[in-house]
């Protein structure tokens, strides 16, 4: 694994992983995308996205409940911040792995 790289390049097979390394630095994997660490990363991303979805459902319920305390809302906001951080990292990782078409290339 490589850490603290400035960008991920799909042409080289470098992937931003869905967790951080020492000191919160990004972790990268230099891979073709089919190895065991890639499969673990895929599983972690799936769990993170599922948890974010469940959190959104919980948010809707809490916002409808007028008995929710400020402490509960702060706790919820902290979890939402964590989930959004995870989802952003996943989006950046997946976006960096999308192949870029050269001018004149098309899907047809």
pTM of the model: 0.75
Residue 62 lies in a domain: yes
Residue 102 lies in a domain: no
Residue 71 lies in a domain: yes
Residue recorded with tokens 């929710």: 68
Residue 103 lies in a domain: no
Tokens of 9: 């390049």
pLDDT of residue 107: 57
For residue 65, with 0-12 CB atoms within 10 Å meaning exposed, 13-18 middle and 19 or more buried, which class applies? exposed
Residue 45 lies in a domain: yes
The parent domain of residue 86 ranges over: 2-96
Q: What does the pLDDT look like over 43-87, one tens digit per residue?
A: 999 999 999 999 999 998 999 999 999 999 999 999 999 999 999
Strand order in the sheet with 14-20: 2-3, 26-30, 14-20
Residue 68 lies in a domain: yes
Number of domains in the chain: 1
């Amino acid at each position: 694994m490589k850490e603290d790289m400035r960008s991920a390049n799909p042409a080289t097979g470098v992937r931003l992983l869905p967790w951080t390394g020492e000191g919160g630095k990004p972790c990268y994997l230099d891979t073709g995308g089919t190895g065991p660490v890639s499969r673990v990363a895929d599983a972690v991303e799936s769990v993170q996205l599922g948890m974010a979805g469940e959190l959104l459902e919980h948010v809707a319920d809490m916002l409808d409940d007028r008995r929710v305390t400020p402490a509960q809302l702060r706790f919820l906001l902290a979890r939402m911040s964590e989930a959004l951080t995870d989802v952003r990292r996943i989006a950046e990782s997946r976006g960096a792995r999308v192949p870029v078409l050269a001018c004149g290339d098309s899907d047809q």
